[in-house]
Amino acid sequence: MSAEHTHDEHGTAHAEHEGMTKKKIWQVFFYMLGITAIEFFIALYLLPKGILGHGMGNFIYVILTLVKAFYIVAYFMHLKYEKFALKTGIMVSLVFIVYFIILMLTEGSYQYLHMN
């Protein structure tokens, strides 16, 4: 039996990360490469030409970066294959962190606008 297989208490072998094949790794790589190409296109063409506003460009960057972060965490850090409780704990923490960042940015802009 190879090192990739583990045994449960009944002696049944399970593949540790059965969904991660070379094909899937390359597929995720090319998804992320495509997203990065879109980000470069926005930064080097759409924003300088004025086709897209900076606020909308930043919003799109954040969304695309979160999509790339999902692929990294889900596939390369193998979170996709973890138990539901671990996924839920991480997602709840992420929601609170994003909420905290939004609150701090809102408070910071409020202070900046009303101190002048």
Predicted confidence at residue 31, as pLDDT, reads 93
Kindly state whether residues 34 and 77 are assigned to the same domain.
yes
Same domain, 25 and 42: yes
Q: How sure is the predictor about 18, in pLDDT bands with cuts at 50, 70 and 90?
A: low
Q: For residue 11, is it within any domain?
A: no
- Give tens-digit pLDDT for 35-44: 999 999 998 9
With contact defined as beta carbons under 8 Å apart, do 115 and 57 qualify? no
Examine residue 4 and state whether it is found in any structural domain, yes or no.
Answer: no
Asked if 36 and 66 sit in the same domain, the reply is: yes
**65 with 104, same domain?**
no
**Interval 66-112: pLDDT, tens:** 889 888 888 877 777 777 777 777 778 888 888 898 888 888 777 67
d(C-alpha 116, C-alpha 95), whole Å: 33
Same domain, 67 and 88: no
6 within some domain: no
How many domains in the chain? 2
Residue 53 covered by a domain: yes
Q: Indicate whether 14 belongs to any domain.
A: no
Helices 22-41 and 54-71 sit at what angle, rounded to 10 degrees?
A: 170
Would the pTM of this model clear 0.85, i.e. be above it? Answer: no
The parent domain of residue 94 ranges over: 83-116
